[in-house]
Structure 1
Amino acid sequence: MPASITLSQISWSAPDGRPLFSNLDLSFGAERTGLVGRNGVGKTTLLKLVSGEIQPHSGTVSVGGSLGVLRQSVQVAPEETIADLFGVTDALAILRRAEAGQATADELASADWMLEARVAAALNRTGLDALPETPLAALSGGQRTRAGLAALIFTEPDFLLLDEPTNNLDREGRDAVIALMAAWRAGAIIVSHDRELLESVDAIVELTSLSATRFGGNWSHYRERKALELAAAQHDLTEAEKRMAEVARKAQATVERQAHRDSAGRKTAAKGGIPRIMLGGMKERSETTGGDNARLADRRRAQAMEEATAAREKIEILQPLSVTLPPTGLPASKIVLKMDGVTSGYQPDDPVIRDLSFDVTGPERIAVTGRNGSGKTTLLALVTGALKPWAGTVSVMTDLSMLDQKVSLLDPSASIRDNFRRINPQADENTCRAALARFMFRADAALQTVSTLSGGQLLRAGLACVLGSAPPPLLILDEPTNHLDIDSIAAVEAGLRAFDGALLVVSHDETFLDSIGITRRLELPSADPAG
């Protein structure tokens, strides 16, 4: 029987009572499915329901086949090794005793002589160069993710359940996971905002607060379908606005005709040609007709407005953010940043950055790349002044702002509006509200407390506060797309494309870097061959 996963009439609510799913029906076959949707819509919860980690409040989950589950983070004990993660510690111990001539006859009979080769092959498929005895605590977060994925594919499950598998991976790790999924021929459900990874899937399921919709094909096919939906919604809005205008025109024409008839009746009555009793009846009919016409016009107007509102709301959902920003006035020839022979780090005699020299001129857009541990975040700390060089000089010749993953320049206890006014003291209330509206924080949305924002809203708020009024000539970003949903990434990309200053960006997301128009790359060397 083919492997399958079926969710029937699933309902589930968060601990705070917020309903995530109501009578959800969804099925997965033996294919690679990307699960997308805004943060908080329930993607991770759906994986937990499928894996049995949590139970639905109503409905059933049926799984035909074996599952391999990869969590967003792999927590490890200090003594735990890669072999423990694979579940082969005892089997490897038998092989070690056999090699030393200490194994019993029963152990020799049960020994899996191909085990080490199969473990090595699984690690190799995720691009991780490590031994089974390697402690997991000695690996970086990205390396542990790759080890966890290798342990899953080692068991050859019918379905992989992957929750953001490329988060926190360097370029080499991302490439390895993308290549693995491109070659994967069993089932997989992949929660991800990594558009490169989603290009390798067979179908996309879009999860919203109302439903789950399946789209055949990969990410590009999905975006094409969404573009067609947007075009259809725009057409519907145009037609609805035409109907509103036509309803208004006809209603006015009806009023004018009735007024003309009433006027003609009054003139005839003034000449004495109509008996008084008939005049009363004519007046009553005129009033009745006028009331009926008004009610009919009101119904038609309300229906046309309802259709226009529905089309406009759909466009707001489908339409990517597009913003216009004030210019920075940065001259093309101005030296923005200069590093000369810089060496620095955190532990004495253990430099992270060694003898680094580079400069940024005018509105360049530079991606700082390199393996995990190569010093990308350290370089940004040197530019912002949070870290001092041990040798060499760092010269910043213009104003700058930095947005890290936590957007720490915003006060979590204050509103978006109040943060904007603090960061831009020269801006008046009208300028503040206009700037925030360009980043989709309109009216009361601008009064949200920063601590209540999702990851995507937080970064968008940070961009609005930094870029909305008098943007600095230099903007620094550290892994801005980590933990954002795809809609939020698109909004951030739109804001950065409209920025005319210099950008210094640390990111492993190649699609993001291409979208914001990176013009140059600064590759940092790494002493860690595993990456």
Structure 2
Amino acid sequence: MPAPAPSPAVVLQDLAFTWPDGATALEAVTGTFPRGRTGLVGDNGTGKSTLLRLVAGELTPTRGSVSVVGAVGLVPQRLTLDTRATVAGLLGVRTAVDAVRAITDGDVRPELFDAVGDAWDVEERAVAALAAVDLPHSGGALDRTVGTLSGGEAVLTAVTGLRLRSPDVALLDEPTNNLDAGSRDRLAELVRTWRGALVVVSHDRALLELVDATAELRAGSLTTFGGPYSAYEDHLAVQQEAAVRSVRDAEQTWRRERRERIKIAERVAHSQRQGRKDAADAKFVKAAINDRRNSAEKSQGARRGAAEAAESTARAAVETARSAVRDDDRITVDLPDPDVPASRRIAVLGSADGRDVVLAGPERVALTGPNGVGKTTLLERLLAGPSPAGRLCTDRVGYLPQRLDVLDPRATVLDAVRAGAPGVAPGDLRGRLARFLVRGAQVDRPVATLSGGELFRVHLARLLLAEPPAQLLMLDEPTNNLDLASVDRLVEALSSYRGALLVVSHDRAFLERLGLDAHVELRPDGRLAVGTVSS
């Protein structure tokens, strides 16, 4: 007997959500997330993050309903943007920790005891949980702010908090963003051993292989497949191959029915001409001519109507078949030639042992190292001016930050991008933004309303549409918010870029595809070592 299907942990019924500015994020989504582990995939901008926030109760549906069995815990994609949040907040124990401290200081309000419950050892357990995953756990670690953590440390802290609270339904939104190899291993272990319902949004193929089911959010529809992402890809490939064949068959039938309709139309026209000729020649008695004409017209009309109906049915079948074939838009990036001579120094990276690393000409270098070692800090110090971290030898530098928090949240998308290319006419800039799938009314939306993937594309557009073009691109975890297909497009664009490239990334597959000239590892003691990717 086949195993019974797992009961749903989350049920979505006709779910819709519209942002205050009128932009529709989700429309009429119906489906379920089963118990067990589900990977949620879909292109950027399809509403995956919004869907998770609706399930978590952070947002209220415009229409429809969300039903959840048990408590929900969410690790959001953009948690690193709230730099004032504390480690205790990321762990989800801020309220309990503060209550215990207040009671210890003599405050006996009843609501504080309610907040603590039985968790009098919450601070000790939180510190132990941090220590277990090699995160800083001493010297007031729970009160540190997100702004003092690396992106990877912040994400791992939030994931650790989820494990600490063990909600019935766990939601992870791009949890491998910024994580080094060791942290990814810990996250993978959490996913493998999670006993409740877990939904993970990710572009990390290795993580998506650990799930029991794959759900795709596409064009407002949620489709769930029993198996990991690779199995879903195989299933989709077979499905699409069959869809393409169906289109060919439908088009062939349409052509045949069209030819048949044309033939019948020609026969009808010939018959009508013959009838007029017979009448003109008075070849038959007038009454017989009329009877013959009436009979012919009825027969011809029936044949013509049947042929037109058959052609219309065949044409509709073609449209139906074509709708099953995927032809999704992808970002297209054409980078201009920044004219970097092969021998010119572009940047110098400072090493604690005095053995500095020089980027010359259009070199492509990966800067790697474990979480918290200071990779992002090194890039920011380079931008700030000469320092022990090194110096830049060109003022034409494009920087893509990890936190994506450098744009004015109140500015429109168009104004934010124009700041990097003030000489480009707004109409021309709109056309260029369309290549990044930023189109129509979206161009006039405030930056604060964008999804993670949309925000990334706007940052990328501002960077790559700058005039004059950058001679050095410094990219800090550039694949964090991209869907799998957009990562492919970014690789294609960067592979043809003729300037210097300095990339911080823990995504080994991405780095391997860039055709790098060198890997530079930043070690905890501040030394730089040129070699292979180690984390």
TM over 0.5: yes
In the alignment, structure 1 residue 387 sits paired with structure 2 residue 384: yes
**1:267 CA drift (Å):** 4.9
**Among candidates 304, 308, 311, match of residue 318 of structure 2:** 308
Match of residue 507 from structure 2: 509
Count of residues in Structure 1 that have an aligned counterpart in Structure 2: 492
How much identity, in percent, do the aligned residues show? 32
Tell me the SS of whatever aligns to 2:215. Answer: strand
Tell me whether 222-231 or 319-328 shows the greater mean CA deviation.
Answer: 319-328
Contact 2:153–2:372 under 8 Å retained in 1: no
Equivalences for residues 291-306 of structure 1 within 5 A = 292=302, 295-306=305-316
Change (3 A) 1:199 1:334: same
CA distance 1:470–1:137, shift in 2 (3 Å): closer
Distance 2:55 2:27 in 1: 13
* Alpha carbons of structure 1 residues 491 and 88: separation in structure 2 relative to 1, 3 Å: same
User: C-alpha displacement at 1:206, in angstroms?
Assistant: 1.9
Question: Structure 2: how far apart are the matches of 1:208 and 1:321?
Answer: 14
1:286-328 residue CA offsets vs partner (Å, 9 max, x unmatched): 55555555544444444344333344444345x5748695885
1:107 corresponds in structure 2 to none
Whether the aligned pair in 2 keeps the contact of 1:413 and 1:450 (CA below 8 Å) is yes
Cα deviation for residue 177 of structure 1 reads 1.7
Shift of the alpha carbon at 1:120?
6.8
The 8 Å contact of residues 321 and 494 in structure 1, kept in 2 or not, is answered as: no
| Amino acid in the other structure paired with 1:246 | R
Is 1:5 matched up with 2:13? no
Partner of 1:37: 42
The one-letter code of the counterpart of 1:210 is G
CA–CA separation in structure 2 for the residues paired with 1:483 and 1:528: 29
> C-alpha distance in 2, partners of 1:419/1:285?
76
Distance 1:125 1:79 in 2: 15
Any idea what SS the aligned residue of 2:393 has? Answer: strand
Q: Which runs of 5+ in 1 are unaligned?
A: 95-109, 344-350
The answer to whether the aligner puts 1:369 opposite 2:368 as a matched pair is: yes
Q: Which residue matches 2:342? A: 334
Match of 1:197 in 2: 207
Distance 1:291 1:456 in 2: 57
Q: Is the 8 A contact 1:369 1:508 kept in 2?
A: yes
**Structure 1: how far apart are the matches of 2:154 and 2:420?**
39
Task: Note if contact 2:332-2:489 (Cα within 8 Å) is conserved in structure 1.
Answer: no
Deviation of residue 137 (structure 1)? 1.4
8 Å Cα contact 1:322/1:494 also seen in 2: no
Mapped partners of 2:286, 2:436: distance in 1: 67
Name the CA distance, whole Å, in 1 between partners of 2:506 and 2:270: 72
Amino acid at match of 1:513: L
Are the counterparts in 1 of residues 127 and 142 from structure 2 also a CA contact under 8 Å? Answer: no
Match in the other structure for 1:247: 257
Q: Is the 8 A contact 1:327 1:471 kept in 2?
A: yes
CA distance, structure 2, for counterparts of residue 22 and residue 494 of structure 1: 35
**Does structure 2 retain, via aligned residues, the 8 Å contact 1:341–1:355?**
no
Deviation at 1:40, TM superposition (A): 5.5
Alignment of 1:77-226 (within 5 A): 84=93, 122-123=129-130, 126-131=133-138, 133-137=140-144, 140=149, 141-208=151-218, 210-226=220-236
- Give 5+ residue unaligned stretches, structure 2: 1-5, 104-117, 528-534
Match of 1:99? none
Deviations along 1:470-507, one digit per CA (max 9) or x if unpaired, are 98776543333333445544554455456576543333
Q: What are the superposed Cα offsets for residues 146-181 of structure 1, whole Å, 9 maximum, x if unpaired?
A: 233223323555543333333344454334323432
- 8 Å contact kept, 2:333–2:489: no
CA distance in 2, matches of 1:367, 1:496: 13
Q: Displacement of 1:337 after TM fit?
A: 4.9
State the Cα distance separating 1:340 from its structure 2 match: 4.0
Instruction: Report if the CA contact (8 A) 1:324-1:498 is conserved.
Output: no
Give the letter aligned to residue 40 of structure 2.
L
Point out the more displaced range, 53-62 or 133-142: 53-62
Shift of 1:188: 1.8
How far 1:373 sits from its partner (Å)?
A: 5.0
The structure-2 alpha-carbon separation of the partners of 1:111 and 1:288, relative to structure 1 and needing over 3 Å to count, comes to closer
Alpha-carbon deviation of 1:201? 1.6
Matched residue, 1:26: 32
Structure 2 vs 1, CA of residues 84 and 158 (structure 1 numbering), >3 Å: closer, same or farther?
closer
User: What pairs up with 1:413-424 in 2 under 5 angstroms?
Assistant: 414=414
Q: TM-score, normalised by structure 2?
A: 0.69
Measure how far apart 1:273 and its partner are.
Answer: 2.4
Q: 1:273 to 1:21 in 2, by over 3 A?
A: closer
C-alpha separation between the residues in 1 aligned to 2:87 and 2:211? Answer: 36
Amino acid at match of 1:28: P
| Residue of structure 2 aligned with 1:235, choices 245, 249, 264 | 245
How large is the Cα RMSD of the aligned pairs?
A: 5.3
Q: CA deviation digits over 1:364-413, x for unaligned, max 9?
A: 54333234454544555677xx432237664359x76555547969x846
Q: Is the 8 A contact 1:83 1:132 kept in 2?
A: no
Change (3 A) 1:294 1:342: farther
d(CA) in 1 for partners of 2:14, 2:311: 40
Deviations 1:78-118 (A, max 9, x none): 79597955967999999xxxxxxxxxxxxxxx9999996x7
Q: Which amino acid aligns with 2:135?
A: L
2:313 and 2:469 map into 1 onto residues whose CA distance is 44
The verdict on how the C-alpha distance between 1:424 and 1:402 changes in structure 2, with shifts beyond 3 A counting, is farther
1:327-379 CA-to-partner distances (Å, cap 9, x unmatched) read 85989x93465434648xxxxxxx9x9763232555x5433323445454455
CA contact (8 A) 2:335 2:493 kept: no
Matches of 1:111 and 1:393, distance apart in 2: 50
